[in-house]
Amino acid sequence: MSEYQYYRFVSLDNPLSSAQQNKLREISSRASISANAFQVYYNYSDLKADPDKLMKDYFDIGFYYANWGDVTIWLKLPPSTLPKEFLVIDDGYTAVAWNSKKYQLLRLSLEGDDNYRDDEDAEAFFIYLHTLRDELINGDYRLLYLCWLNQLDQEGQPSELPRIRFDFNQLTAGQQAFADLFSLSEVSVNALIKLLNETGSHQPSGSGALSAQQQLEQLSTEDKDRLLYALFEQGQLSRHQALAMLNQTQAQKEWRYWLSADDLAPYCQQIKDEMRQQYLAAEAKRKEEERIRREWHLTAVYEARDRYWQTIVAGAEKRNASGYSEAERILQDLYDAYQLKGVLADFVPPFQDFISAYSRRSALMKRLEPLKQAVAQVVSAGE
């Protein structure tokens, strides 16, 4: 199988200048480049630049996948978007975080995944990167908890995170897509839900559910002055940049409750036990429903037993594998039907007559050997 690598980067807050686009063109002559995006794929070669540096210098979201199973997601945020306590998800492997005065950058990686992907899958997931970034900027940190759970699933020992009572029962479409992409364990997610419901935690805060007017009404005079000063100083100020500036206050809050791997472990075991019980209950229900359907079928077979005996003869007369299979199946149904009705002894005479009539059909007799042995035991028990 040939190698295939796909890169796509997009700038959301600021369009790329002509000079920046020319600089990117020097990196790749075959890439599709616009004022907002850079996209290219490779066979037998690779991007002649560090994708991490491209993100730092030019873009806000990025996605990479290779046909050997590697996937990388980049999300660049305005500075101070994430409280420093959440940057500990950086384990140097599945998640890497850069924190500077100009930006915060997350790189989330998946290696050696066996699931098949193509460009359509990449495009479908890329749609969610914009919303995932918006959610983080608006104070919805559930993506970071999913990263934390992924590290736990990989048998890592992630650092403690502030324990915030986010709703993990109803993930956003982007968060669910991330959980699916990284094959996140249902056990760990449900364990986190249970832990948050049963222990002390902080209430989530953020502006995602507020209108622009409501957000403006909540601003203090000092906050409004800060935003106006930044606007005049920079010449422009995006909504994301404004939210990041306001989030700096929240970043300094005192965290009383913390989430650790040791805290979650007993809840994971509880969820496993509950899922095991649910599986056993569902399996018992399935088997009971199967038993009832089987009894209905066998009752119908017994009531029409004369016709079924004739069908067996017709199957044997076909002298082929399908006919013999049909005869074997119906004979077993008849045996079970007579047994269900408590008259198994009545099955013996017609069965023995059938065996006597077709004893020269070696292929058929071989198929019926287990049933012949069962009938022999019935005869022996009745003597």
145, 257 contact by CB (below 8 A): no
Q: What is the pLDDT tens value at each position of the chain, 383 positions in all?
A: 568 999 999 999 999 999 999 999 999 988 999 999 999 999 888 889 999 999 999 999 999 999 888 999 999 999 999 999 999 999 999 999 999 999 999 999 998 877 777 778 888 899 999 999 999 999 999 999 999 999 999 888 899 999 999 999 999 999 999 999 999 999 999 999 999 999 999 988 764 444 455 456 556 677 667 667 666 666 666 665 666 555 555 445 688 999 999 999 999 999 999 999 999 999 999 999 999 999 999 999 999 999 999 999 999 999 999 999 999 999 999 999 999 999 999 999 999 999 999 999 999 999 999 999 999 999 888 75
Give the pLDDT of residue 211: 46
Give the pLDDT of residue 121: 83
> What amino acid occupies position 133?
R
Cα within 13 Å of Cα(244), Cβ side: 22
How many residues are listed for the chain in this entry? 383
Statement to judge: residues 9 and 137 lie in one domain = yes
Tell me the average pLDDT of the chain. 89
Q: In the numeric block, which tokens belong to residue 237?
A: 């100020």
Task: Mark out the alpha helices in 104-185 (DSSP H runs).
Answer: 119-137, 142-153, 173-181
Statement to judge: residues 143 and 221 lie in one domain = yes
Q: Is residue 270 part of a domain?
A: no
Q: Is residue 226 part of a domain?
A: yes
Report the alpha-carbon distance of residue 27 to residue 84 in Å, rounded.
Answer: 34
Statement to judge: residues 255 and 315 lie in one domain = no
DSSP of 216-281: HHH--HHHHHHHHHHHHHHS---HHHHHHHHHHHHHTPPP--EE-HHHHHHHHHHHHHHHHHHHHH
71, 19 contact by CB (below 8 A): no
Q: Is residue 62 part of a domain?
A: yes
Statement to judge: residues 18 and 100 lie in one domain = yes
- Pick the closest to residue 151 from 71, 105, 104, 92 (CA basis): 92
Chosen domain end from 225, 259, 293: 259
Task: Look up the domain containing 201 and give its range.
Answer: 5-259
> What amino acid occupies position 21?
Q
Question: What is residue 139's DSSP assignment?
Answer: T
Give the pLDDT of residue 236: 62
Residues facing residue 62 across a β-bridge: 9, 74
Structural domain tally of the chain? 2
Report the alpha-carbon distance of residue 289 to residue 280 in Å, rounded.
Answer: 14
Q: Is residue 278 part of a domain?
A: no
Give the pLDDT of residue 116: 73
Report the alpha-carbon distance of residue 56 to residue 382 in Å, rounded.
Answer: 87
Statement to judge: residues 151 and 93 lie in one domain = yes
- Pick the closest to residue 161 from 138, 143, 181, 182 (CA basis): 143
- Pick the closest to residue 162 from 231, 103, 83, 269 (CA basis): 83
Statement to judge: residues 128 and 202 lie in one domain = yes
Give the pLDDT of residue 251: 47
Q: Is residue 280 part of a domain?
A: no
Give the pLDDT of residue 366: 95
Statement to judge: residues 368 and 242 lie in one domain = no
Report the alpha-carbon distance of residue 299 to residue 329 in Å, rounded.
Answer: 16
Give the pLDDT of residue 210: 46
Q: Is residue 279 part of a domain?
A: no
